[in-house]
Structure 1
C-alpha cells in the first residue's frame, strides 16, 4: 500500500459560504496532507479557494496504485461537497493529479 497526496481542482460556480467551506474541511480533515512528510515540508493546505471561485483540495489517500488513489480522492472530495449541499453543477471538479508519493517498503 502506498500513501499518495492527491490534488483535486474545481470551481465554486456560485461561490461558497464560510459555513460550507468549514464543513468541507471538517469532513476531509482525516485526509489532511499535513499528516504526511510531503504535506508538512511543503505546507500543503487541505482546501485553497481563490477569489474567482476556483479551488484546490489536497488529500492524503492510501491506495495500491495511482489510478486508485486519484479515484478515491475524487470520491472523497465529491462526497464532502455533496454533504455540504453542493452538486456537481455547483462545484465541478477537474482531473485529480498525484502531488506526492510516500511509499513504504
Structure 2
C-alpha cells in the first residue's frame, strides 16, 4: 500500500460559517495530512477556505494506486461535507489531485 496526500477542491456556494468549518475539520481530522512527513514539512492544512467560498481539503489515504486514492479522498470529503449539512449542490467538488506520495516498500 502507498500513502497519498490528496487535495480535493470545491466551492461553498453560499459561504461556510465558522462552526460548520470546524465540524468539517473534525470529521476529517483522522485523515489530516500533517500526520505524514510531507504534510508536516510542507505545513499542509486540512481545510483551506478562500474568499468567494473556494476551498481545498487535503486528506491522507492509503491505497494501491492513485485512482483508488483519489476516489477514496472524494468519498471522505463528500461524506464530511454532507454530514456537516452541505449537500453536493451547496458544496460541489472539483477533480481531486495527488499532492504527495509516500511509498512503502
Which TM-score applies when normalising by structure 2? 0.99
Output aligned runs, 1:18-97, within 5 Å: 18-97=18-97
Q: CA RMSD in A?
A: 0.4
Structure 1, unaligned runs of 5 or more? none
For 1:90 and 1:19, how far apart are their aligned partners in 2? 16
Runs of 4+ residues deviating >4 angstroms: none
Following superposition, the deviation at residue 94 of structure 1 comes to: 0.1
Which TM-score applies when normalising by structure 1? 0.99
